[in-house]
Every structure is written in C-alpha cells, then in structure tokens.
C-alpha cells in the first residue's frame, strides 16, 4: 500500500510543522531580541513568511523537513534568517519542547520527497 493508513496523519504533520516553526522563532526572538510575549517586527515578518511557505508547500501533507527538501522555496535573505533561527534554537528546543523536537527529528529521518510532476530526470 502506498497511501497512509491514517488519512489525518498528513494534516497532523503540517500542524506540527507550524507549531515547530512558531516555537523556534518565539525562542529565538525572546533570547536574541529580549521580547516577552509578542514577537518583534522582524521575527513576526519571518514567522508570517515561514507559515505562508509552509501553507503553499508542494509536498504537503507528506513534506520532508526543510533541510532535506529538494526545493528551496525561501528567498535567499529569508532562508539565511530561518537558518540562523534554527541554529541558535537547536539546543533550546530540546529543553523547552522535547517532544516536538523529537518528532521533528523523526520526520527528518523520512528523507526527501520527489515531486510527482518532475518525472525521473
């Protein structure tokens, strides 16, 4: 069988992706910009951009983690910013959101996905 046994698994995966990116950016903003509660303008912009990219991911609902994705959909400047967020929150995510982080690591083991419309070459 090539289909998921649980048809709701893809939607849960996308919700978890949204929660993960929200948690990473919130931790980053709090540590780097000293915010409490709401994000600063730059981090709010990055979060909005990241959620928009996630909502329009061509691989949804079986998307790979962004690091293993064959398509880099972020503009170069936004990609640089999100990579910095990921690097600087890696250890904090394990401490503050261990289950979310563990699930993200399991998702990363799934490997890259190939787009159906690209063919084999």
* CA nearest neighbour of 93 among 20, 43, 16: 20
Least confident segment among 59-73, 88-102, 103-117: 103-117
Average model confidence (pLDDT) for the chain? Answer: 84
For 87, left (φ over 0), alpha (ψ -120 to 50), or beta? alpha
Give domain limits for the chain. Answer: 11-111
Q: What six digits make up the tokens of 68?
A: 């293993």
Question: What digits encode the pLDDT tens for the residues 70-104?
Answer: 888 999 999 999 999 999 998 999 999 999 988 88
Q: Which of 36-50, 65-79, 100-114 has the highest mean pLDDT?
A: 36-50
**22-32 b/e with 16+ CB inside 10 Å = b?**
ebbbbbbbbee
Global pTM value: 0.80
């Amino acid at each position: 069988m090539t289909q998921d046994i649980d048809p709701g698994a893809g939607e849960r995966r996308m919700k978890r992706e949204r929660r993960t990116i929200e948690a990473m950016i919130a931790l980053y903003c709090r540590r780097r910009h000293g915010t409490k509660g709401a994000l600063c303008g730059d981090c709010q912009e990055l979060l909005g951009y990241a959620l928009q990219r996630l909502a329009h991911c061509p691989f949804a609902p079986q998307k790979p983690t962004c690091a293993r994705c064959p398509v880099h959909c972020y503009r170069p400047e936004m990609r640089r910013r999100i990579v910095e967020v990921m690097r600087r929150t890696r250890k904090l995510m394990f401490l503050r959101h261990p289950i979310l982080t563990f699930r993200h690591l399991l998702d990363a083991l799934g490997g890259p996905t190939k787009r159906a419309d690209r063919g084999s070459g």
